[in-house]
Structure 1
Amino acid sequence: MADASEKPLGLHNVVSVSMGLIVSMSCLVSLGQGAGESGLMFIPAMVIALLLNICSAACMAELNALMPNATGGLVQYTLAGLGPLPTLVTMVGGYLICNILCGGVEAAIFGSVMVETIPLAIPAAVYPTIVSIIVAVAALKGVDIFAKLQDFVSYLLLFSMIALGLIGAFQLGTGAVVAQPAAVTTNAASVVSAVGVASWLFVGAEYAIPISKDVRNANRNIPLGMMISLALICVMDTLVVIGFWHYVPWGELAESASPHLLYGESLLGNVGKVWMSVVSALAFIGSQNSTVNGLSQICDGMTKVNMMPRFFSRKNRFGAPAAAILFVTISICLIAYFSGDSSDAISFLILVVTVLWLVSYIFADIDVLVLRRRFPKAPRAFKVPGGPAIPVIGIAGTVFMIANISSDPAEAVAIWILAGVTFLVLGVYSFFWIKYKMRMPVFKPVPIPEVLAMENDLYYEIRHRRGIWR
């Protein structure tokens, strides 16, 4: 293992990777539509969602400190905490399917924004495909190139959004200031109902964990970087929501498929529209970069425990999991190609993906409690303070966000049913895969030393040669 001083990444890289997935095209859409439905009351909803997501991020950091250098992150944590079945269901549903679908939605939104902004007869799918190819090439060059691209994109995006928010908040735009109530509704119930939508604005900070083995002083920088990124995003989004209030009617904001583009044009005219288009491009590049790198690392980690075909662990000369990178990239492009640009369809899919992702957070919080009980004296360079309080708050808060995923009862039920059916199908698939491919007890946790031993390729090879793993 490389000495800490030789590791290429620092705290600023952790912050940029965490922000890269969170500040995405779909988050810009959710921010505008959430604010359009609640007005400034969306800000306290965001703060509640921020605090709940901080609890889950802290739990992820503790798991990383307990099992450092685990390639797949949550794969290994849940395998040691809850066993193979919950692990496979969570990772395939909560991460692979969830993030590939989300990446496809991001790509579709980006294509629509580019078509609306650039007056050329170019199909919408061309734009995200070009960006995806560039991102894939960067990922194939290894973690150092990935991190440099992420730094440039994430910080430029952050400063642009803060600038656009400040211009709107202080009414410095060239557009007409809108006279409208500060809030669409003013009762506490409106804040509660908006927390589910606001939760999507903060999921994904844990995508910094797969790069922890390349981070200097990871025990400090991983949890600190995730917390800093979440706090910066909350400040940025708050400023933008105030800007929305001054320049865009709430109703138009809620109904727009590209509310961020509407805001840019209302704020600064054509200059603002072009600026926000650049922001959209940065958001897509950043989220695509984080998704491709993070998911490829997760796929690599899952092959080590025989939860995915061995093909996905193939590396190139830069040490990048090339097969997994290409698989994720091609899947996202295909979903983008077949996706529509309906505002309602995009919003619904974002909420379904949110539920799938939040369930994986519940498992991570449970992992912390289980592993503390099973291995109370195991060394942890970082431990969430307050005993079981924060993991329990994280679980309860995540359940709360899922329960309030939509203010429309019919839509909420549809979201729960679709997410439930997805997990049920994955459960059946996982049972047979574990029983007949992995030949392991489906619910029996794997001891931590054995999970860490799986990082060595010889573990798979020996079990495969002996006919234990097929």
Structure 2
Amino acid sequence: MEEKKLGLGSVVSISVGLVIATSCLVSLGEGAGSIGIVFIFAMIIACLLNMTTVTSLSELNALMPDVTGGLAQYTLAGLGPFPTLISMVGGYLICNLLSCGVEASIFSYAMAQTLSLPIPSLGYALIMTVVVMVANLLGVDMFAKVQNVVAYLLVGSLVVLGLIGMFKAGTGTVVEQPMYMTTDLKDIVPMCAVAFWLFIGAEYVIPCAKDIKNARRNVPLGMIIGLIVICIMQSIMVLGFHNYTPWAELADSAAPHLLYGENLLGYPGKLWMSLVAALAVISTQNSTVNGLSSICQGMAKMNMMPQFFAKTNKYGVPYVGVIFTSVSIGLFAFISDGSSDMIEFLILVGSVFWMVSYVLAHIDVLVLRKRLPNAPRSFRSPGGILLPVIGIIGTVYMIMNISTDPVERMQIWVLTGAVFLILAVYSCIWIKTKMRMPVFKPVPLEKVMAMESDMYYAVRKRRGIWK
């Protein structure tokens, strides 16, 4: 059977796919509306910080190529099963399913506000979820085709709309307002936590590494190009915001992209932005369903999740994971329907979960370099330990300053802490009863790589080692 391969363009589109989402446009509006165009500097800092994560994950992928579980297998080899389960279930599964469900809900709200069709608000989200699920069930080729079209249309639309606003070429009234509200670093740096969400998710290309041509070059390069493209595009949007949308209204809006589109070009602009929102949801759900199903497949091979997640259909797709992820997104969309006012809080909660996973990725690099200094790596994070250390310090700082409101910050810490506590209890029980492994003992690299084989689980189960 001919091996399927994706090029650099597909890598960039996958990287961009999850990152650009409706919630990112909300965060962009909140950040720009709070401090003006100097939010661009906060974005650049957040982008550079995410690049350190990209380099760490690229090194881990070079050390353990072709593994389907990505960060799950890296952390299993570096830190053991306990941190792996907590970070993957909390930092990836729960976070992504929740945020993607809310994305779909906000998309439904925007479409209902823009189109006069006899379709219930939630109907738009459910239709989109079914379409994306079917596309992913048809295999990686279909995934790549959908992702390429959606990602490039999405980026192109946002750049054009941003440029129209930037050069004051819109049909709406140009707003006279200051370009910024502060130049004080103590006001700008905390906004990096808001900007951080704008660049989260580029690593979703990692589970697809085995399907990528020249992965050594294209995996890190594609993710870095994706982050740069996003930073430039979002900066253009901020400059467009300045000319057509009052900062205060932008910061307070639950749908700043629709507000900007309408102020820029009237109803056609609002309609165009609704199209952009639709593309964002397709892109987000496409990347989420494809990435999470692969991660679930890899974790099932390690007996860290039920074995049915490892099953594949005739296209080689882990169909149980695809269906589970899609149904969960639809469920969260139903639960959050009409609750768009909570989007900012949920974004920040999701950021903390994701940041914890990023910290663990950096720690994995440091631990595995110490333990396996001579293991072959086709890519190394440049600068020795410098970038991983910077990544850890910067990400922990973001967690400690996740919100400028001390009350909201405490609420975020309490909620995420409670979830991690529940996951800790679950992880201990699962590891002891199902995996029958030491909770904190790292698994040898060769054993983690061997888990890719379907026979690994079958042999261990036959011997009574795994239940």
Same-fold status (TM-score > 0.5) = yes
Does residue 461 of the first structure (1) align with residue 466 of the second (2)? no
> 2:45 is matched with which residue?
48
AA at the equivalent of 2:347: I
Aligned partners of 1:162 and 1:240 also within 8 Å: yes
> 1:130 is matched with which residue?
127
Alignment deviations for residues 183-241 of structure 1 (CA, whole Å, 9 cap, x no partner): 12331111112000000000000000010000000010000000000000000000000
Q: Which of 326, 348, 359 is the equivalent residue of 1:351?
A: 348
Distance in 2 between residues matched to 1:280 and 1:265, nearest whole Å = 14
Alignment deviations for residues 59-83 of structure 1 (CA, whole Å, 9 cap, x no partner): 0010000000001100110000000
Using the TM superposition, give the Cα deviation of residue 465 of structure 1 relative to its aligned residue in structure 2, in angstroms. Answer: 1.2
Aligned partners of 1:255 and 1:343 also within 8 Å: no
Distance in 2 between residues matched to 1:93 and 1:281, nearest whole Å = 27
Distance in 1 between residues matched to 2:27 and 2:221, nearest whole Å = 26
Alignment deviations for residues 374-431 of structure 1 (CA, whole Å, 9 cap, x no partner): 0000111010111100000000011111122111111111111111111111011101
Secondary structure of 1:200 counterpart? helix
> 1:161 is matched with which residue?
158
Secondary structure of 2:181 counterpart? coil
Deviates more, 1:344-353 or 1:185-194: 185-194
AA at the equivalent of 1:205: A
> 1:66 is matched with which residue?
63
Aligned partners of 1:67 and 1:452 also within 8 Å: yes
> 1:231 is matched with which residue?
228
Aligned partners of 2:106 and 2:340 also within 8 Å: no
Q: Which of 205, 215, 220 is the equivalent residue of 2:217?
A: 220
Q: Any unmatched runs of 5+ in structure 1?
A: none
AA at the equivalent of 2:330: C
What pairs up with 1:197-212 in 2 under 5 angstroms?
A: 197-212=194-209
AA at the equivalent of 2:54: A
Deviates more, 1:141-150 or 1:400-409: 400-409
Distance in 2 between residues matched to 1:133 and 1:101, nearest whole Å = 17
AA at the equivalent of 1:109: I
Q: Which of 61, 72, 90 is the equivalent residue of 1:93?
A: 90
Does residue 314 of the first structure (1) align with residue 285 of the second (2)? no
Distance in 2 between residues matched to 1:405 and 1:185, nearest whole Å = 19
Aligned partners of 1:8 and 1:215 also within 8 Å: yes
Distance in 1 between residues matched to 2:237 and 2:108, nearest whole Å = 23
AA at the equivalent of 1:162: V
Report % sequence identity: 60
Alignment deviations for residues 90-132 of structure 1 (CA, whole Å, 9 cap, x no partner): 0000000010001111111110010011112321111011111
Distance in 1 between residues matched to 2:353 and 2:94, nearest whole Å = 9
Does residue 112 of the first structure (1) align with residue 133 of the second (2)? no
> 1:271 is matched with which residue?
268
Aligned partners of 1:256 and 1:343 also within 8 Å: no
> 2:328 is matched with which residue?
331
Using the TM superposition, give the Cα deviation of residue 346 of structure 1 relative to its aligned residue in structure 2, in angstroms. Answer: 1.1
Aligned partners of 2:32 and 2:251 also within 8 Å: yes
Alignment deviations for residues 265-298 of structure 1 (CA, whole Å, 9 cap, x no partner): 1011111101101000000000000000000000
What pairs up with 1:380-459 in 2 under 5 angstroms?
A: 380-459=377-456
Alignment deviations for residues 123-142 of structure 1 (CA, whole Å, 9 cap, x no partner): 11110111111111111011
Distance in 2 between residues matched to 1:215 and 1:321, nearest whole Å = 18
Secondary structure of 2:200 counterpart? coil
Q: Which of 373, 377, 381 is the equivalent residue of 1:376?
A: 373
AA at the equivalent of 2:185: A
Distance in 2 between residues matched to 1:360 and 1:439, nearest whole Å = 24
Secondary structure of 1:184 counterpart? coil
Aligned partners of 2:4 and 2:141 also within 8 Å: no
Aligned partners of 2:77 and 2:444 also within 8 Å: yes
Distance in 2 between residues matched to 1:190 and 1:331, nearest whole Å = 38
TM-score by length of 1: 0.98
Aligned partners of 2:122 and 2:337 also within 8 Å: no
Using the TM superposition, give the Cα deviation of residue 343 of structure 1 relative to its aligned residue in structure 2, in angstroms. Answer: 4.5
Secondary structure of 1:183 counterpart? coil
Distance in 2 between residues matched to 1:122 and 1:184, nearest whole Å = 42
Does residue 247 of the first structure (1) align with residue 244 of the second (2)? yes
Distance in 2 between residues matched to 1:188 and 1:385, nearest whole Å = 28
AA at the equivalent of 2:123: V
Q: Any unmatched runs of 5+ in structure 2?
A: none
Distance in 2 between residues matched to 1:159 and 1:53, nearest whole Å = 23
For residues 193 and 397 of structure 1, do their structure 2 counterparts lie closer, same or farther at Cα, with a shift above 3 Å needed? same
Aligned partners of 1:7 and 1:216 also within 8 Å: no
How many matched pairs?
A: 467
Using the TM superposition, give the Cα deviation of residue 340 of structure 1 relative to its aligned residue in structure 2, in angstroms. Answer: 3.9
Using the TM superposition, give the Cα deviation of residue 33 of structure 1 relative to its aligned residue in structure 2, in angstroms. Answer: 1.3
> 1:284 is matched with which residue?
281
> 2:253 is matched with which residue?
256
Distance in 2 between residues matched to 1:301 and 1:337, nearest whole Å = 29
> 1:295 is matched with which residue?
292
Q: Which of 137, 141, 144 is the equivalent residue of 1:147?
A: 144
Secondary structure of 2:349 counterpart? helix
